[in-house]
Amino acid sequence: MTRLPQAVILSLLAIGTYVLLSSIYSVNEVEQVIVTQFGKPVGAAVTSAGLKVKLPFIQDIHPIDKRVLEWDGTPSDMPTKDKLYVSVDLFARWRITDPLQYYLRLRDERSAQSRLDDILGSETRNAVAKHELIEIIRTTKDRVPLRDTLLTDAERRSEIGALLPVKKGRQLVEREIFSAAAEKVRVFGIELLDIRFKRINYNESVRPKIYERMTSERRQIAERFLSEGHGEAARIRGNRVRELNRIQSEAYRQVEEIRGVADAKASEIYANAYNQSPQAVAFYEFTRTLQSYKSIIGQNTTVILSTGSDLFKFLKGMSPEVRVRTR
């Protein structure tokens, strides 16, 4: 008889312990809990951490994260206002501010991520389609773009390197997407905290045209440098020839001046040397006549002179091997 009450007591204790454990649950600091009874929420969401009590067996708990959560979208191709297809990659941060509404509409984080994909993707497409590509690329409208210093002012004003005026910039486009999407996700008990462009790239079909334009721009700069180099080389060669001619002309002038001064000095020396006496004058006349013979008379030379010629008087005493015809 004593064994039966002990077994009953142990069974009751076990059942009581199980019921007690089923009635108590803990709430973590980073989560909030929705209590449901037969699948329907009961009461408000439990947001404070600690041990809580619920009805055993008929009530269930559903923990919901209350930390800042991440949404990372997949890159998708979309057209801009200027008909350029770009691949846009976004990321966002969000958190659950109304757990009850969140549970009633979405149930879990997987459904929330799927709904964010639809809403943020749709608003991003609308925003990108309403703006030029430069509005999405440029950070703000006040930021001065870096210009290629190799381009001249005329080339900058031309189609190559020309930039459209920026009215908003990427930050304002992100705010437009944020404002539109935040209103739509609020009905799901979600607060959208921030949204940013992670990467914006040209579509694969557009990239070859962009690369061709970049190559054309580089080629134009190279051709301009080449033409400027040829012009500078021609100018340097022209200056070299002109300077060489000037140097040669100056040298020739100086040589002639020196030669003239030397001839005048030599004539002066000769005059001073041979004008000292009549004998010196006669000797000078004789030497100069002999010098003229060297240039006038050569081998097999026939000279016709008159007997009164100044050259003839010195030829009278020459060797008979040199025949002189007189008349």
Q: What DSSP designation does 56 have?
A: T
Half-sphere exposure of 276 (CA within 13 A, CB side): 8
Q: Render each residue's pLDDT in the chain as its tens digit; 327 residues.
A: 455 677 777 777 777 777 766 788 888 888 899 888 888 888 888 888 888 888 888 888 889 898 999 999 888 888 888 888 888 999 999 999 999 999 999 988 899 999 999 999 999 999 999 888 888 887 766 655 555 565 555 555 454 445 566 777 888 889 999 999 999 999 999 999 999 998 888 877 777 777 787 788 788 888 888 888 999 999 999 999 999 999 999 999 999 999 999 988 888 887 777 777 777 777 777 777 777 777 777 777 777 777 667 666 666 655 555 454 544
For residue 36, give the nearest of 44, 48, 28 by alpha carbon: 44
Measured distance CA(123)–CA(129) in Å, rounded? 10
Measured distance CA(212)–CA(229) in Å, rounded? 25
- Sequence spans of domains, the chain: 3-65, 69-205, 220-274, 280-326
Q: What is the residue whose two structure tokens read 């497409």?
A: 125
Model-level pTM? Answer: 0.56
CB neighbourhood size of 78 (10 A): 16
For helices 109-129 and 170-186, the axis angle rounded to 10 degrees is 140
Measured distance CA(8)–CA(5) in Å, rounded? 5
Measured distance CA(274)–CA(285) in Å, rounded? 9
Question: What is the architecture, at CATH level 2, of domain 69-205?
Answer: 2-Layer Sandwich (3.30)
With residues binned 3-state (H G I as helix, E B as strand, rest as coil), the percentages for the chain, rounded to 5, are 50, 20, 30
